[in-house]
Amino acid sequence: MKFGVIIFPGSNCDHDAYWAFKEVCGQPAALLWHDSHDLENSDVIVVPGGFSYGDYLRTGAIARFSPIMESVRKFAAAGGLVIGICNGFQILCEAKLLPGVLLRNKTLKYICKPVHLRVENTDTPFTHSLTKGEVLEIPIGHGDGNYFCDDATLSQLNRNQQVIFRYATPSGEVTPEANPNGSLENIAGVCNEGRNVLGMMPHPERASEDLLGMKDGLKILQALAGSTTSMR
């Protein structure tokens, strides 16, 4: 599986993601420039974290007009795998590749800390090797991670099992106390109806090696690396 990691002006987790897929997972990887349309035959597109275009206007609002996002839109429409992490999640929401939007954290504070996530759906290329109900410890680092959508969208997400991760206690209970940012129903990650596009606020690439002190994120990266739903 070849991983294409997009670099926008202001991306700052691009090299971390590239490192994690290439060096830690041992997969071919490429860095893709925002100003190009070329996805370089990637099997998975990674929209990394950071502050694309300085978060001007709204988080992700400018990045979605990048030339490369036109290619990503076509790639996703054809069933290609796309994962958006943190700012990448925000961009995919603005690009309408995922439902909803990430609002300012309820506390108005930037939050950088490890959180626990309960895996809600394992029937996706991103979580197929995980267990439903499994708890992962992965760090977040964001000021705008408060997931919001309207009631109709929320019931659709629940009905279609598009909520992939929820903030939970270490024992896997989804409680208000475990919700760091005010997200609706503790939502930390959602996928599209086709299950080929995932957005998540926590950073799996920051929990992928012993050196980083946490390795649970590697399970998601490896699930993707071992996914068989590649287009190619």
Active site residues: 86, 203, 205
- Which of 105, 124, 186, 208 forms a contact with other proteins (CB under 8 A)? 105
Cβ closest to other proteins, residue 8 vs residue 21: 8
Contacts of 89 (CB under 8 A, 6+ apart): 47, 98, 102, 189, 199, 200, 201
- Which of 15, 22, 73, 104 forms a contact with other proteins (CB under 8 A)? 104
Instruction: Tell me how far, at minimum, the Cβ of 167 lies from other proteins, in Å.
Output: 17
- Which of 36, 41, 107, 155 forms a contact with other proteins (CB under 8 A)? 107
Residue 195 in tokens: 């299950």
Cβ closest to other proteins, residue 62 vs residue 220: 62
Q: Using alpha carbons, list the distances in angstroms from residue 174 to 61, 107, 150, 168, 207.
A: 30, 19, 21, 4, 21
Instruction: Tell me how far, at minimum, the Cβ of 79 lies from other proteins, in Å.
Output: 25
Interactions with other proteins, residue window 42-101 (CB under 8 A): 57-58, 61, 93-94, 100-101
- Which of 106, 133, 185, 226 forms a contact with other proteins (CB under 8 A)? 106
Query: Candidates 67-75, 79-87, 142-150, 163-171 — which segment interacts with other proteins by CB under 8 A?
Result: 142-150
Interactions with other proteins, residue window 146-175 (CB under 8 A): 146, 148-150
Give CA–CA dist 208/219, Å, rounded.
Answer: 8
The DSSP bridge pattern shows strands 81-85 and 44-47 to be parallel
Instruction: Tell me how far, at minimum, the Cβ of 111 lies from other proteins, in Å.
Output: 13
Instruction: Tell me how far, at minimum, the Cβ of 142 lies from other proteins, in Å.
Output: 14
- Which of 22, 30, 73, 103 forms a contact with other proteins (CB under 8 A)? 103
Cβ density class 41-55: b for 16+ within 10 Å, e for less = ebbbbbbbbbbbbeb
144: which DSSP letter?
A: -
Please name which of 159, 155, 164, 153 lies closest in space to residue 123, comparing C-alpha atoms: 164
Give CA–CA dist 51/88, Å, rounded.
Answer: 9
Please name which of 147, 145, 148 lies closest in space to residue 113, comparing C-alpha atoms: 145
Query: Candidates 28-36, 75-83, 105-113, 118-126 — which segment interacts with other proteins by CB under 8 A?
Result: 105-113
Interacting residues with other proteins (CB under 8 A): 57-58, 61, 93-94, 100-101, 103-108, 146, 148-150, 182
